[in-house]
């Protein structure tokens, strides 16, 4: 049989790619969306107050600040690193804003202080990881203790409360109808993050560094600069989240935002970001933020204690990391059996 006849044989089946619709239906984001819808239905059945528009608006306050952290954390994790200091940056930035407020600083100055402290902390993390070459998990665990420790030294058992009245707009104001300024800011930042990650050279370089930093370096990518920038991004996001959280609470305590670093990581990983780097997208993270927000708000309506929510979030983090690994092993065993 000639080569040509072999090609034209009826037994030859050419490879076919799934249509865009089929790929979308098989995607992790579609599964997350189905989960979000199911949770919303379950919450509406469990509590008659869930579907009230203003209650739904209140639900967004449960996750918008954490979701802003998760957007920046997505870049860090995709690049193959991690930042566990973001919650402590919030505490330090909030402490700096509180001290300035006691001294009579106005709202614009407080906003700049919160953002500047976040950027400074992100810069320090970037220097430790990108310039000095420290492992990110070690460096950011160290700065996590450092930043929150400074907040405890400055505040002790005190609470900063005397913020200007108009400072509340960042965390309590509404842009239009039921849509808070926090929520609208998150959506705008999500669009920007999506464009930067998926449509720019910088985004492609972040993926390249996360997939193989050595190969990316030989391809001309400035790996250290990419890592430095993504830590700056998490610092800026933490500074902005600190402004919003402090504005919403109207006070500063050194224990503010404890545990939020794990919530941000959970949102990113639940959204499909590979914990080892190189994979993930912003859409999945946005949907994951809604899923976690709906879960916590639904549990809150049912008067579930906060410690139980923490246990649930911990289990969720373990599951979203373990399930893909289990699936990979099952697929390997199936291929080996063939």
Residue 115 lies in a domain: yes
Rounded to whole angstroms, how far apart are CA atoms 128 and 139? 7
Which whole-number Å values give the CA distances from 45 to 35, 39, 41, 181, in the listed order?
A: 15, 10, 6, 29
**What is the extent of the structural domain holding 277?**
48-332
Residue 119 lies in a domain: yes
Q: How confident is the model at residue 185 (pLDDT cuts 50, 70, 90)?
A: very high
Identify the CATH number of the domain in which residue 255 sits: 1.10.3470
Residue 17 lies in a domain: no
Q: CB under 8 Å, gap of 24 or more: what pairs does 310-319 form?
A: 310/259, 313/262, 313/263, 313/266, 314/262, 316/266, 316/270, 316/292, 317/262, 317/265, 317/266, 317/269, 317/270
Average pLDDT over residues 183-210: 98
pLDDT at 334: 81
Rounded mean pLDDT of the chain?
90
pTM of the model: 0.90
CB 269, CB 121: distance < 8 Å: no
Res 178 pLDDT > 80: yes
Res 21 pLDDT > 70: no
Higher pLDDT, 38 or 328: 38
Which is nearest to 98 in space by CA: 172, 146, 185, 167? 167
Q: How confident is the model at residue 7 (pLDDT cuts 50, 70, 90)?
A: very low
Residue 153 lies in a domain: yes
Higher pLDDT, 336 or 162: 162
Total domains in the fold of the chain: 1
Secondary structure (DSSP) of 150-191: HHHHHHTT--B----GGGGHHHH-EEETTEEHHHHHHHHHHH
pLDDT digits (tens, 9 = 90+) for 206-241: 999 999 999 999 999 999 999 999 999 999 999 999
Residue 122 lies in a domain: yes
Rounded to whole angstroms, how far apart are CA atoms 316 and 305? 17
Residue 16 lies in a domain: no
Angle formed at CA 311 by CA 308 and CA 316, multiple of 5 degrees: 125
Rounded to whole angstroms, how far apart are CA atoms 26 and 15? 18
Query: What tokens were used for 265?
Result: 């990581």
Residue 13 lies in a domain: no
pLDDT at 234: 98
Res 13 pLDDT > 50: no
Residue 162 lies in a domain: yes
Query: What tokens were used for 63?
Result: 């996750």
Higher pLDDT, 2 or 312: 312
């Amino acid at each position: 049989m000639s080569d040509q006849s072999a090609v034209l044989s009826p037994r030859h089946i050419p490879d076919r790619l799934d249509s865009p619709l089929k790929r979308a239906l098989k995607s992790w984001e579609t599964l997350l969306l189905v989960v979000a819808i199911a949770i919303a239905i379950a919450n509406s059945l469990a509590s008659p107050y869930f579907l009230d528009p203003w209650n739904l608006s209140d639900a967004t306050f449960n996750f918008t600040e954490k979701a802003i952290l998760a957007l920046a954390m997505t870049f860090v994790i995709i690049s193959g690193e991690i930042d566990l200091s973001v919650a402590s940056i919030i505490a330090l930035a909030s402490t700096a804003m509180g001290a300035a407020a006691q001294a009579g600083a106005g709202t614009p100055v407080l906003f700049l202080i919160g953002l500047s402290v976040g950027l400074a902390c992100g810069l320090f993390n970037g220097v430790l990881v990108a310039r000095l070459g420290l492992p990110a998990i070690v460096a950011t665990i160290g700065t996590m203790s450092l930043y929150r420790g400074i907040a405890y030294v400055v505040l002790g058992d005190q609470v900063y409360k005397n913020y200007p009245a108009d400072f509340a707009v960042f965390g309590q104001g509404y842009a239009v109808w039921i849509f808070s300024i926090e929520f609208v800011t998150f959506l705008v930042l999500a669009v920007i993050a999506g464009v930067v990650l998926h449509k720019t050279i910088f985004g492609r370089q972040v993926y390249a560094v996360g997939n193989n930093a050595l190969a990316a370096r030989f391809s001309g990518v400035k790996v250290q600069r990419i890592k430095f920038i993504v830590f700056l991004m998490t610092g800026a996001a933490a500074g902005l989240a600190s402004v919003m959280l402090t504005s919403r609470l109207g006070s500063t305590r050194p224990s503010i935002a404890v545990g939020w670093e794990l919530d941000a990581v959970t949102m990113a990983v639940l959204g499909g970001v590979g914990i080892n780097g190189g994979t993930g997208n912003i859409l999945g993270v946005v949907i994951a933020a809604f899923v976690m927000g709906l879960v916590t708000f639904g549990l809150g309506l049912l008067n579930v204690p906060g410690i139980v929510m923490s246990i649930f979030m911990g289990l969720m983090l373990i599951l979203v990391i373990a399930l893909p690994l289990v699936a990979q092993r099952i697929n390997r065993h199936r291929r080996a059996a063939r």
